[in-house]
Structure 1
Amino acid sequence: MNRPAPGDSNGAGHHGNTAGRNNVELRQIEAFLAVAEELHFGRAAHRLRMAQSPLSQTVKKLEKSLGTDLFERNTRAVSLTTAGFAFLPHARKILEELDLARRAATADAGEVYGRLSIGFSGALNHKTLPPLTRALRSSYPHLDLTLSGGLLTQDALDQLRNGSLDLSFIGLPVDAPSLATRRIAVEPLGAAVPEDHPLAGRPQIALADLAADGFVTMPAAQGSTLREAVFSACTAAGFRPRVVQEVSDPYMALSLVAGGVGVSLVPDSMAGIMPGGTVFIALSGAAPLLASGIAWNPALISPALKLALELADSVLPTPPR
């Protein structure tokens, strides 16, 4: 049992080399958040309906408990230190989880409370994301659902590993042995070309017909499965694509195609949402395929994620091979 340090009424004592780093109280986190968001002790004290001096002492006790300064203070301004910036999202999450726990504890029988964060790439998921989110909203209206868009596959995998995401839509296959994945779609790729392209009026073209064109692709550094599929398909067609522009957003890539920057390959599910000035053309022969799926971290399965995976089995069934 820790003995209180002299002069420390909160009982945060010394233990080996971790002096003063034992007890962090909820009121200290609330005080930190108020100052961090107001960046002014006076306004933060008014917001918390307390005097400024006790607020300052509460923040100092928190800093002592953590063993680091959270704020830079001078006579004119208050700002967060590097440690303060690092602590901020965790402090918010603590209060959010407490609020969620309070609501769950007072919920009626059968009501489901929880938090679920889902990642997706953007336009590539315009047919797979909505069925799942609609089912979640309908079945579990009290579930706090956060959607994070604009993620390419490698970004999504990293966030699943560190717990920033619970579930994500990704391209397949992936090399991620610590994560679980399930296939939800397999689509043929087709060509996206500007409407004034010489081939724009054809019902079908061979991929080799685009060998002389510049390609708009996803960035190589971000681990895009679509980019890998494009390069693999072009290599099989006898050429290496000449990349003229890289862009993370698949729909922005199509906008660049519309602007005459280059051509691109996209899943045929995007044929119905092509921007003006862009034409989708099917590829002849055995068109290259793009597989997509969902991924999650089996080491971090929450009750909310378990429910989401059960719903996904229903609304996003595994397609036949």
Structure 2
Amino acid sequence: MELRHLTAFVAVAEELHFGRAAKRLQMAQPPLSQQIRQLEKELGVQLFERNTRSVRLTSAGQSFLDPVRTVLADLDTATRAAKAAGRGEYGRVTIGFAGASTHETLPLLTRAVRAAHPALELVMKGQTYANVALAGVADGSLDLGFVRLPVTQPGVATRVIDEEELICALPSDHPLARRRRIPIAALADEPFVSFPANAGSTVRDATVRACEAAGFNPRVVQEAPDSYTILALVGAGVGVTLTVTSCQHIQQTGLVYRPLAGPPIRLQAALAWRPDNPSAALRTVLAVAEEALPTPEGKTPARL
């Protein structure tokens, strides 16, 4: 039984006239009649009662019609879905992100994708650190990741979407809080709250390098797994920290933010993906991201 036989059957069943059905199918009448005979032979039943004056469905034909229409409709749906997936309009893209630092960029991308391609499914995977998302992209468990540069993993492409600055967060009653800008050297004797040393945090790494450049090693008295906890501890008076400008939305009682004195210390946020990923849906999301999250004009290369 072939698809053309089913299509021919539905056309004749709906037209109840071989000539009109042949015209609808853009074919000659004799081949159409032959296809119906082949279908009846395959099924072992007569589907139409026909004579020189009329054509009508038999009871077997009546019973056969609705299921065949369902088959053809399902096939049409599957065909359209496959074509849409091939164009990247349908499918699934898994995105890894680290919470606090993507509170602005992630919604911009997801809303733009859903507005332009509502059939695309976005699966969000929250991570504590951006390097975890990067590892997921590298091993193929994630399609796309929000990361920070530098990225050294082979086979991973990146595009800068934002540039952040390192800033100081300190208790509101701290003597340094009265200053408009904080010299890093002024923090030499301060207790620090920071990410764990071996977690692979780019903010922790940038903090250490900035302090070392100012002539001291930060004295970390408390470690915490995420920016929300770190800044809560700072607000509680446990110590000071260096964080990034994207975390200033975290408002905590007893906490203030101050820019650092001197040339800005910049960290670049980026999207990361594998160019060898065959997903058309991923390519569609990357295209949307070009508009929703453009690379900043005149971006300054990362200092650290």
- Structure showing greater radius of gyration is 2
SS in structure 1 at match of 2:114: helix
Distance in 1 separating the partners of 2:254 and 2:127? 23
What RMSD over aligned residues (CA atoms) do the two structures have, in Å?
Answer: 2.3
Equivalences for 1:64-213 in 2 at 5 Å? 105=79, 107=81, 112-213=89-190
1:233 paired to 2:229: no
Q: Structure 1 residue 200: deviation in Å?
A: 1.7
Q: Structure 1 residue 104: deviation in Å?
A: 5.9
1:273 paired to 2:250: yes
Q: Match of 2:293?
A: 316
Distance in 2 separating the partners of 1:105 and 1:243? 59
Consecutive unaligned residues in structure 1, runs of 5 or more: 1-101
Q: Structure 1 residue 203: deviation in Å?
A: 1.5
Judge conservation of contact 1:118–1:166 (CA < 8 Å) in 2.
yes
Distance in 2 separating the partners of 1:199 and 1:294? 36
Judge conservation of contact 2:130–2:148 (CA < 8 Å) in 1.
yes
Rate the CA distance shift 1:107–1:271 in 2: closer, same or farther, 3 A: same
Q: Percent identity?
A: 47
Correspondent of 2:230 among 242, 247, 253: 253
Distance in 2 separating the partners of 1:266 and 1:234? 13
2:92 maps to a residue whose letter is R
1:243 paired to 2:220: yes
TM-score (ref. length: structure 1): 0.64
Rate the CA distance shift 1:153–1:236 in 2: closer, same or farther, 3 A: same
Correspondent of 1:287 among 232, 247, 264: 264
Q: Match of 1:262?
A: 239
2:139 maps to a residue whose letter is N
Distance in 2 separating the partners of 1:216 and 1:170? 22
2:266 maps to a residue whose letter is L
Distance in 1 separating the partners of 2:281 and 2:233? 39
Judge conservation of contact 2:166–2:245 (CA < 8 Å) in 1.
yes
Q: Higher relative CO (CA 8 A, sep ≥ 6), structure 1 or 2?
A: 2
TM-score (ref. length: structure 2): 0.67
SS in structure 2 at match of 1:116: strand
Rate the CA distance shift 1:240–1:298 in 2: closer, same or farther, 3 A: same
How many aligned positions are there?
A: 221
Q: Structure 1 residue 131: deviation in Å?
A: 0.8
Q: Structure 1 residue 163: deviation in Å?
A: 1.8
Rate the CA distance shift 1:104–1:287 in 2: closer, same or farther, 3 A: farther
